[in-house]
Amino acid sequence: MIMASIPLPTPESTIAVGIAVASMLAISVGIGVYFFRRSKNFDEWMVGHGDIGPVVTGLALTATWLSGWAIYGNAGLGYTYGWSGSWLIGTANLMGLSLCVVLGYRMRRYAALGARTVPEVVRIRFNSRLLQALAGLTMMILLIVYSVGQYKAMASVWRLTTGTDWLWSLALTAVLCGVYLALGGYAGTQFSLALQGGIFMVVGWIFGIASIFWAGGPAKIAEAISASSFVRPGGASTPVSLSGYTAPISPAFPGYDWIGVTASLFMFLFMATGFPHNIARFLGLRKTTKKEYTLLMIIVALNCVTPLMVGAMGFAARAVWGSDLMTLAPVYGDAAATLVSMALGGPVGGAIFSMAVFAAAISTLAGMVMIMATNVTRDLINNVVPKASPRLLLLTSRLLIIPFLAIPLWWTYTSPPPVLSEFMSGSAVAQAGIFFFVVAVSMYWKRATKFGAIATIIYGMGVALLHPSVYGKFFPPFNHWGVWALALIFGCGAIYLGVSLLTKPVPEEQLSKIFSKQDQ
């Protein structure tokens, strides 16, 4: 095993990180200001003009999909769990996102029918305001949880590269994000997301490939991983080998056994489409040709390699530093990618990588905050008061950005989750199980009913509480992550299918407005 010193933050790295992150945010705010003039009313602010092209949509989609989890947490997974961390790294994440590209394209049809939010797609599909409100409320709960992970990624990378407290830097980041969201609305955010997606794709690929050579090549890394065993955060060694694709560390760990592995594969397959902030990217997409659509898919495929590149940085760190990072409280193995970037490129390398992490985390956060703000105004307030003034709704949406940025920030500051990716996977599984069926399948399956959708949401949220780290530990077999995730995802599917078939179908005259003759 090669041993090298672990990089430490310096005054130069602090300045470099500050400049890099500020530059990225300044350009994003500039984009927001540019689109301010094009977001004149509530409708335009929510969904733009439906004229966004495939390149911007493809990059924006990967930006909301690949969050702090992919650009920061993945190296921690590879470092901490070896090959068995690959399942949460998302080696098969492209399968899920390409499914989203295919299923999500139909969102345009609903946008043409007046849908401005994802729950509104559900309302149009089932002609149910209750379902729209319920879907909106569910999204808010799950997305708040997922937002915490984005702040934790940014906070940890800031601390590691600058050595300073992160609260004020993150508060400033949140303010700037709020500014470009409030000004630019959907269209401005979509272009900012595209910029951020492009940044972390290039940075992730470069550092991923460089890290493999830095650690002595693929064979040396594989050899080091095979010789490693699991070390708990804090530094306590265990006899659990990291040489295989499963590691019996704890039933709450997705790579514990092949049940957990199967569940994580299905989670990745469904959650890309289930994420409301992902599928919403298609609301503003213009009509595309087959060639443009292929281009969109190619962009998606290229950026879905990025999580694997970052995972490789974690393996490289394990080969070079052994288990030393497991004593590095409070981030432990999650420090791997940032420290590798500093080892590779000094303060500038650390700064560029930090910018990529901020780009990934802030893009997902922005997508989610936009969803949550419009969940309140469009899916709840406007739903109950259809004649509410659009100007008032626009102002309220802009103001709501503040609490939806502040609440997860405060949560992260007062009670940060211990292991980022595991925490986020809890919310991800619930979004995958519920919204894959309620939103995506409903756009294609004519026999789906509102009662099927409502029952799915209730079941999914109920089972989400049985996550192994919440109440599942008291109710075996839900203390096993794989059992819990499979019960949630396939339980949602079974409830959706069963209740829909047992209840009265949506009248044909209503369906004919939504489904084309080709779908008959």
Partner 1 sequence: MRSDIILGILIMALCFISVPIIAATVGGWYAYWGTLLLSMVWSAVILWLKISHWENE
Q: Which residues bind partner 1 (CB under 8 A)?
A: 83, 86, 91-95, 98-99, 102, 105-106, 108-109, 218, 221-222, 225-226, 243-245, 258, 261-262, 265, 269, 287, 290, 293-294, 297, 300-301, 304-305, 308, 311-312, 516, 518
Structure tokens, 176? 């700037």
- Among 277, 327, 49, 311, smallest CA distance to 150 is for 277
Please give the sequence-ordered ranges of beta strands (E in DSSP) within 357-438, or none if there are none: none
How far is the C-alpha of 270 from the C-alpha of 275, rounded, in Å?
9
Q: In whole angstroms, how close is the CB of 269 to partner 1 at the nearest point?
A: 7
Q: In whole angstroms, how close is the CB of 383 to partner 1 at the nearest point?
A: 25
Q: In whole angstroms, how close is the CB of 152 to partner 1 at the nearest point?
A: 26
Q: Which is nearer to partner 1, 255 or 349 (CB)?
A: 255
Q: Which is nearer to partner 1, 107 or 393 (CB)?
A: 107
Terminal CA-CA length for the chain: 62
Q: In whole angstroms, how close is the CB of 257 to partner 1 at the nearest point?
A: 11
Query: What are all long-range contacts of 292-297, with beta carbons under 8 Å and residues at least 24 apart?
Result: 292/53, 292/54, 293/54, 293/105, 295/54, 295/55, 295/58, 296/54, 296/55, 296/57, 296/58, 296/61, 296/101, 297/58, 297/98, 297/101
Q: In whole angstroms, how close is the CB of 219 to partner 1 at the nearest point?
A: 9
Q: Which is nearer to partner 1, 219 or 329 (CB)?
A: 219
**The Cα angle at residue 516 between residues 514 and 519, in degrees rounded to 5:** 110
Q: In whole angstroms, how close is the CB of 242 to partner 1 at the nearest point?
A: 11
Biggest CA–CA distance in the chain, Å, is 70
Query: Are the CB atoms for 423 and 100 separated by under 8 Å?
Result: no
Q: In whole angstroms, how close is the CB of 11 to partner 1 at the nearest point?
A: 38
**The Cα angle at residue 461 between residues 459 and 462, in degrees rounded to 5:** 65
Q: Which is nearer to partner 1, 74 or 150 (CB)?
A: 74
Q: Which is nearer to partner 1, 91 or 173 (CB)?
A: 91
Q: Which is nearer to partner 1, 70 or 466 (CB)?
A: 70
Q: Which is nearer to partner 1, 154 or 486 (CB)?
A: 486
Q: In whole angstroms, how close is the CB of 477 to partner 1 at the nearest point?
A: 20
Q: Which is nearer to partner 1, 269 or 461 (CB)?
A: 269
* 103: helix, strand or coil: helix
Find the helix packing angle between 258-274 and 93-104, rounded to 10°: 30
